[in-house]
Amino acid sequence: MKSYDKYDENIFANETLTGWYIDRLYYDFFSAYKSPVLSVVGLYNDTRTRSTEEMGGTVTDYTNPQKQLTDAAQADAYYGSQLGVNPANVPYTRIKNANFLLEKIGEKGQALSDDFKKKARGQMLFMRGLQYFELMRVYGGVPIVTTTENASALDSSIKHPRATTSELVTQIISDFDSAAALLPAAWGATDYGRFTSGAALAMKSRVLLAYASPLFNKDWDNTGSDRWQKALDAGLAAETALTAAGKGLYGKTAKEWSDMWYINDTKLNDKEAIIIRLLSNSVASSGVENNGWERSIRVVKQTGAGGVSAPKEMIDLFPLADGSRPTIANGYDSLHFFLNRDPRFYRTFAFSGSRWPLKEAGNDTIWLYRWLSTGNKQTYSDGNQVSSPAIVRKMSNLTGASTAAGLAYSGTDIFEYRYAELLLNIAECYAAKGDVGNAVIYLGKIRERVGIPSANNFGLGTPAGKYAAIEACLYERRVELAYEGKRFWDAQRWLLYDGGTPLGENTCVKLGINPINGTARTGRLWQYKTVLSNTADPLLGTRTAILCDPDAANFTTQLNNLKTFFDNNLQVVSTDQPMDKDASNNPLSINFRSNYYISGLTATILSNNPWLKQTIGWKDYNNAAGTFDYRE
């Protein structure tokens, strides 16, 4: 019997060949994961991140009010196509390859060491649990297959129905529990980056948190719901195990918070990384994987792809320096957004006057403004044509090469799951259980690490009950985990696009959160106040006195100098075209429809597997309404 790929079961008699098999599965799972804003295992695209407040400029099918997806032909294709002799790298192929090792290594691997076999099984169970969790987040319940099966239209024994979401969660948790029991707490240097026992427990926390959330849990509003308790228990168990293994929050300053991603290029410290995607700065033509994020966020002046413009909604999101919310009552001035902000703000965004160094340009300063000349000709500072006065710089290597080729071969690793997220999971569980005090304690740990003053619970105050505490947790996730591919999943599981009204929920009203639907990502520009007769930059000489370096002792003075420079020379104007627009440049507002939270199955899958039920809210292969309830 052969696997679904190129491997005969006899390879499991040899540790080297088995190791290659395992490594191939890591590749199949993660080879496309080359930027932190990408998500969905094996697929890794930015569709979901671009469906949130984080990135404007592209209206996805999920958010386009001019489209309505209900037909099976329009459903998410992640599930895959018909399995065959030469299958694609799709979810059930990856599951089958994991099952293949789990089935055969005991029989064929008698000469292998027990330790090797334990670790091999542990990695396969982890991968299978991870793949089923991704399927759950996209489709809810799906067929559970835990043995190696050959695709056949005649074998009725393999006509597995869609499991309920509850049944699928039971299987996923079983896989992660088993993986945790088999995997080591840490690997040696040559195996750095493989899944650990602590990572399996952390994934259990993530799964149970999703399962306890309103998307899947009709009883979410009950502080006594056992799902919240189980999610909390899983989070605390993961925290204990990971702490014992030397994991924790990296650093004690905002600078160290910023450094933790690229310092890992030299593998000096991976303390915060629970699941890490290893990448290389090699320029080899094959056999290596590079991080595409660095070049995408760097501006044209720095030989980058042009930068990622931050919507006004993201710029206005981050707390003030004392941790309080950025409101007018608290002294926030959106015009001078760069003043008095949370330390993470200056490590997440860059703006005019910001020091954003590269290897060969240690004091490189970027400028993002434009001026108009006669005939309404528009010219942009240093050729940086962006649609915001701030661009994303988070997870940037400040010592990276300054050439386009160098940026394209970034080796900055991606932290798919880090310790801060685990602490946020725990805080949210406490909040949902009505334990506001402990929720605030865990949120305080996140803020203390970056240097927010401890007064008034690190600016959190004392939330006035369960709903306010949950909202505080979701708010902190938006700030701490910004641009790490996590926001969509939080908005999905809390039904934040419309509050879940079609499902009988009202999460946005209860939490005091404005629904995402009806909003749009907004662009703004810094523009020179005077129309000129030529295209020469009017500020080249003046701006040389401005440098805003968050590492400088006089950073506050530098920001005030920037304020004076702005007030004397610049104004804020709207972009010529809206960030979110249709093909005719008409403005669009987000409209994420309720059936998009969980996709239906595609027409291809339903036609090949006619016993499978279609998801409620989607039409099946015969154009009838779906009946599968993913909340069961």
State residue 264's pLDDT score: 60
Cα 216 from chain centroid? 20
How far apart CA 35 and CA 412 sit, in angstroms, is 10
Here the tokens at position 293 are: 């994020």
Determine the Cα–Cα distance for residues 356 and 263; give it in Å rounded to an integer. Answer: 16
Which among 364, 387, 389, 354 is positioned nearest to 301, based on CA atoms? 364
Mean pLDDT score, 184-199: 95
Q: Which two tokens stand for residue 387?
A: 């649609």
pLDDT tens across 110-154, in order? 999 999 999 999 999 999 999 999 999 999 999 999 999 887 777
Arithmetic mean of pLDDT over the chain: 95
For residue 579, give the nearest of 411, 304, 361, 386 by alpha carbon: 386
Q: Taking residues 353-373, report their average pLDDT.
A: 94
Band of pLDDT at residue 203, cut at 50, 70 and 90:
very high
Q: At 423, is the secondary structure helix, strand, or coil?
A: helix
**Predicted pLDDT at 563:** 98
Q: Is 458 left (phi over 0), alpha (psi -120 to 50) or beta?
A: left
Q: What integer pLDDT is reported at residue 6 of this predicted model? A: 61
588 has pLDDT over 60: yes
**Pick from 83-87, 530-534, 574-578, 597-601: least confident:** 83-87
Closest Cα to residue 483, out of 318, 272, 625, 598?
318
Among candidates 376, 368, 387, 369, which has minimal Cα distance to 527? 369
Q: Is 4 a residue whose pLDDT tops 60? A: no
What pLDDT was estimated at residue 150? 81
CA dist., res. 35 & res. 46, Å (int): 9
Give the per-residue pLDDT at 57: 85
Q: Span 461-471, mean pLDDT?
A: 98
The per-residue pLDDT for 543 is 97
Q: CB of 306 within 8 A of CB of 385?
A: yes
Residue 1 reports pLDDT greater than 50: no
Dmax (CA) for the chain in angstroms is 82
Tell me the pLDDT tens digit for each residue of 81-100: 866 556 789 999 999 999 99
Provide mean pLDDT across the span 581-596: 95
Instruction: Read off the tokens for 218.
Output: 């009709």
Q: Give the residue-averaged pLDDT of 323-337.
A: 98
Helix (H) or strand (E) holding 424: helix 419-432
* Residue-level pLDDT at 412: 92
pLDDT tens string 534-562: 999 999 999 999 999 999 999 999 999 99
Among the listed residues 226, 319, 338, 409, the one whose alpha carbon sits nearest the alpha carbon of residue 564:
338
**CA–CA gap between residue 609 and residue 82 (Å, rounded):** 9
For 160-206, list the strands marked E by DSSP: none
What would the two tokens of residue 400 be?
């990276």
Contact 224, 309 (CB under 8 A): no
- For 393-414, what is each residue's pLDDT tens digit? 999 998 887 787 889 999 999 9
Alpha-carbon distance of 608 to 612, in angstroms, equals 9
Give the tens place of pLDDT for each residue, 222-278: 999 999 999 999 999 999 999 999 999 999 999 999 999 987 655 556 899 999 999
Task: For the chain, give the percent of residues with pLDDT over 70.
Answer: 97
Identify the pLDDT of residue 599.
98
- Residue 8 reports pLDDT greater than 90: no
